[in-house]
Structure 1
Amino acid sequence: MSYEVFYEEYGYPMKGKKLEKLIQFLKEEQLTYDEGIDFTVNLVDSKGNIAATGSLEGKILKCIAVSDSFQGEGLAAKIVTILISHALSKGHSHLFLFTKPDNINIFIDLGFYIIAGTEDVVLMENKKGGISEYVNSLKSTVTYEDTGAIVLNCNPFTNGHLYLIETAAKQCEFLHLFVVSEDKSVFPADIRYELVNKGVQHLNNVVVHPTSDYLISSATFPTYFIKDKFKAGNINCLLDLKIFCEYFARILNIKKRFVGTEPFDKVTAEYNSEMKRILNEYNIEVVEVTRLEENNAAISASLVRKLLAEGDYERIKGMVPDTTYDFLISVEGNKIKEKLRIMN
């Protein structure tokens, strides 16, 4: 069968009946339509049926499927070519791809390389050895036997975060801090990174890194950014934790990962629970640190955001480092305050 019998159907993303049709097609192919998708292309046959589909979320290719009736027609290659072209037009050249384990060879032939996988899904990228190259760039010139790590979002950086870091720094020779690079928080990634970096300058055994696309990102752990927290019970963080263990911990000789107790966020709490189970398999100790409290209440970034929206700087001052407070009362900090006020 020639390609000419199909026509291309685009969605930015799909809506209405076209979305319903797409969801049903993916269901038949044992896939689910993901939240966050911003572009979809379908190849539709002469009867109006979807023959193949693929979607993009930023730089991530996902929900790629070809109907059994049209296997061997080269439709997967056509879908991927269109998705790559669209991603490039949006400025994304380093791309990631989700697929089922059975489809790995299709995408290897299209220039993608395996990062990590589970029984259900494989994550690939279009840069050979990209993740190893990135993690190796973070290595210290000195090798430490007792090395720890913390992965934080810090939206914004609070005294609670600082307490966790200072506690961890006392329990290991060297501590890697990874600040989430994904820009889906109220405080932009570059500001969160800067606030953490400034806030730990007094700790000489601590180094701060961005996570890039490889830890707690839409590529490795999309559920983390789902606003409907009741879905926490369905999170699948195995891929993210395997990447941490098989690349970050192995290359950087990380023996401990520190986390704060999580009384508020169900997604993070379940992530911490899964972390203990999985990291134990790699002989990495998970050290849980009790959250810092003020006035018998745990300090949280969400509370700081609430108080910021209300303009309650007096209460905020006791919850954040001076460097964070100075930012919050700045012109740029006031813009975030107004954004929060409107959101609330």
Structure 2
Amino acid sequence: MEFVKLEGRPLKGKELELLKDFLKRNDLDYDQGIEYSVCLLDENYRIQATGSAEQNVLKCIAVDKSVRGTGLTGSVISCLTQYEFENGRSHILMYTKPENREMFEDLGFFTVLLTDDVLFMENRKSGFKEFVNRLSSESPAEALKPGMVIGSIVANCNPFTYGHRYLVEQALNCCDYVHVLVLADNRSSFGADERFFMVREGIKDLPRAVVHQAADYVISAATFPTYFMKEKVHAVRAGCRLDLELFGRRIAPALGITKRFVGTEPVCAVTGHYNEEMKKILPRYGISVSEFERMCSGGEAISASAVRKWYEKGDFEGLKGLVPETTLEYLEQKKKGRRPTG
């Protein structure tokens, strides 16, 4: 049977509605944020197979029951992979149902982590090992010696504030070294490279704090797809567990991490839930979790969202007392169209 290829960046209008309906019949939702979709259509313009991409993540892959086993999944993956490569993305990820493991392994994907609810895969056989090796290579030799008390902080820092710095300082009071992993998500107001730069500059006077770009293996609520889970509350919980189990099972042991530090979360319910899950899951892997009260300014907890509001207004006086001088300088330069790097 010949199939017609329909592409959209993303699909819109009637074609998007056809795609949503097809996914629904296959127990999937159309995930928000999709930037590209490909559909294979029969002679009656009916979708027989589809797949989508958002940044370097493949998602919403489905094949009609009547044509499963005919190689259409491979055709869809081939189209999506070509799209990713054309956009300069060689590292491709996938989150899917555990029962799909054998099928996607046959198509060239490798398991990063499998939980009861989620299968996390990538197209690189040694991708995670290379990531861990990079983290180790960025660490001082002293921090890798037995007997050291090693802590960690995982944060978006969008942008880096005095509150973030306060958390690092508190963690250093309890540890010999602290690894600060800055999330790699580029859907934040400030890009991954920008946020890494601000964190690095903001704590460069704290030599026992080691800053890393977290790459694709530290998963945020913003990047975890929920399209294959009907119960969205359960999906949020599954995303938290995937991230925390990957950290506990594979990242922390490689760096000798036995402590993780977070700030209290009075505003964001998702982050608050994540912190509670962290307290349940990480101790199973020998990692204690310490939660510190957020640093305040003017009687209110310092938050990156408040900083972003002052920044959008161009009110840099309002930012003083909320961000370190290094962040303030970066934001001023960015507002003028100049970004310091290095």
What is the TM-score when the length of structure 2 is the normalising length? 0.89
Identify the residue that residue 111 of structure 1 maps to in structure 2: 108
Q: Which of the residues 121, 139, 145 maps onto 1:143?
A: 145
| Closer, same or farther: CA 121–31 of 1 in aligned 2, 3 Å | farther
Identify the residue that residue 38 of structure 1 maps to in structure 2: 35
| Closer, same or farther: CA 60–137 of 1 in aligned 2, 3 Å | same
Q: Which of the residues 34, 45, 49 maps onto 1:48?
A: 45
Q: 2:236 matched to 1:244?
A: no
Q: 2:264 matched to 1:267?
A: no
Q: Cα offset for 1:232?
A: 7.7
Alignment partners' CA distance in 2, 1:107 and 1:42: 18
Do the aligned residues in 1 keep the contact of 2:185 with 2:223 (CA within 8 Å)? no
Identify the residue that residue 192 of structure 2 maps to in structure 1: 189
Identify the residue that residue 303 of structure 2 maps to in structure 1: 300
301-310 or 175-184, larger mean C-alpha shift = 301-310
Instruction: Determine helix, strand or coil for the equivalent of 2:62.
Output: strand
Q: Cα offset for 1:334?
A: 3.7
Identify the residue that residue 71 of structure 1 maps to in structure 2: 68
Alignment partners' CA distance in 1, 2:271 and 2:112: 24
Q: Cα offset for 1:30?
A: 2.0
| Closer, same or farther: CA 148–244 of 1 in aligned 2, 3 Å | same
Q: Which of the residues 5, 20, 27 maps onto 1:8?
A: 5
Q: Cα offset for 1:264?
A: 1.8
Alignment partners' CA distance in 2, 1:46 and 1:275: 51
| Closer, same or farther: CA 311–57 of 1 in aligned 2, 3 Å | closer
Q: Cα offset for 1:119?
A: 2.8
Instruction: Determine helix, strand or coil for the equivalent of 2:179.
Output: strand
Do the aligned residues in 1 keep the contact of 2:111 with 2:121 (CA within 8 Å)? yes
Alignment partners' CA distance in 2, 1:31 and 1:233: 15
Alignment partners' CA distance in 1, 2:315 and 2:323: 13
Q: Cα offset for 1:276?
A: 1.6
Unmatched segments (≥5 aa) in structure 2: 227-231
- Mapping of 1:160-199 within 5 angstroms? 160-199=163-202
- Give RMSD over aligned pairs: 2.1
Identity of aligned residues (%): 46
Unmatched segments (≥5 aa) in structure 1: 224-230, 337-344
What is the TM-score when the length of structure 1 is the normalising length? 0.88
| Closer, same or farther: CA 134–234 of 1 in aligned 2, 3 Å | closer
Q: 2:278 matched to 1:281?
A: no
Identify the residue that residue 229 of structure 2 maps to in structure 1: none
Do the aligned residues in 2 keep the contact of 1:232 with 1:267 (CA within 8 Å)? no
1:85-144: per-residue Cα shift (whole Å, max 9, x none)? Answer: 111111111111222222211211111100112333311111102112211221133325
203-212 or 240-249, larger mean C-alpha shift = 240-249
Q: Cα offset for 1:250?
A: 1.9
Number of aligned pairs? 325
Instruction: Determine helix, strand or coil for the equivalent of 2:131.
Output: helix
| Closer, same or farther: CA 317–119 of 1 in aligned 2, 3 Å | same
Do the aligned residues in 2 keep the contact of 1:258 with 1:288 (CA within 8 Å)? yes
Alignment partners' CA distance in 2, 1:209 and 1:109: 33
Alignment partners' CA distance in 2, 1:24 and 1:242: 34
Identify the residue that residue 339 of structure 1 maps to in structure 2: none
Q: Cα offset for 1:221?
A: 2.8
Identify the residue that residue 342 of structure 1 maps to in structure 2: none
Identify the residue that residue 91 of structure 2 maps to in structure 1: 94
| Closer, same or farther: CA 218–212 of 1 in aligned 2, 3 Å | farther
Q: Cα offset for 1:283?
A: 2.6
Alignment partners' CA distance in 2, 1:183 and 1:265: 20
Question: Match for 1:148: what amino acid?
Answer: G
Alignment partners' CA distance in 2, 1:155 and 1:219: 13
